[in-house]
Structure 1
């Protein structure tokens, strides 16, 4: 079984995303998982286009005083897990946050070592990410995926491949798929 060391998030994203930002997202992810009583070694089930299971590991003890807003904790944890899934399930890496109104959260690029990487035209794909603390009858991950795919229509004129990542923390599970 493959694993994801949450504390090493900064090693798998494009250098345009700072190590500090990655460390913060990693801490959010650890807090979110621990708030749901998960411990290092818990299993993330990935559904969608790339079905797999990953062991989530961490050793850091996070001071939780700065992590109190439940919605923000879940949102940022979903980003951390989705950054990992982009790397595992596509040939891209997260390169840049998008602006509000584009219908996506982040732009993706080939890694700088990839043969198709072009520093003058490095936006190669896009992703919309959503987090759910606990799935319910009225808040299903599959339903959220459908609505997020529609939201991405705003940036369809880019003609770039599009991905959706829905992360549910309580299980934990993710649905990762191409639009």
Structure 2
């Protein structure tokens, strides 16, 4: 597969290949029919960069799990933490249409219906990573934001798009805890 978005990105040490990641996150590679079906169910056109990454590995826990922020949040003063990226599918617990996927977070936890929740955090549901379509509409290029349930679902801007978000993830050792 020729990459359009992640050509210059080194995935060495990016994904966590643990048994837990395999069991609860990593879906089979998404076929076009699955992508279209998931987009229809969620009501949003998934970003091409997200689809491309899911064709490299369809979901999983990440070792590069922190993204720098300019404002404090419930996790830290200078970054958010990410547990895993939800794959395109319905089979795994942590896939966008899975048991604890995007719709579940909105319907059961009251998260705002502003896009697609694609990342969970170490807080076990108390904060999430959202592809936020508020500014771009349901078929545009969403921003990536952190949504903090503990702070009245406050959004913290992270990146202008999914590719920038992935490339901006850092190792937790880069931050003073």
Structure in which a larger fraction of residues adopt strand: 1
TM-score (norm 2): 0.34
TM-score (norm 1): 0.34
Q: Which has the higher contact order (CA 8 A, sep 6+)?
A: 1
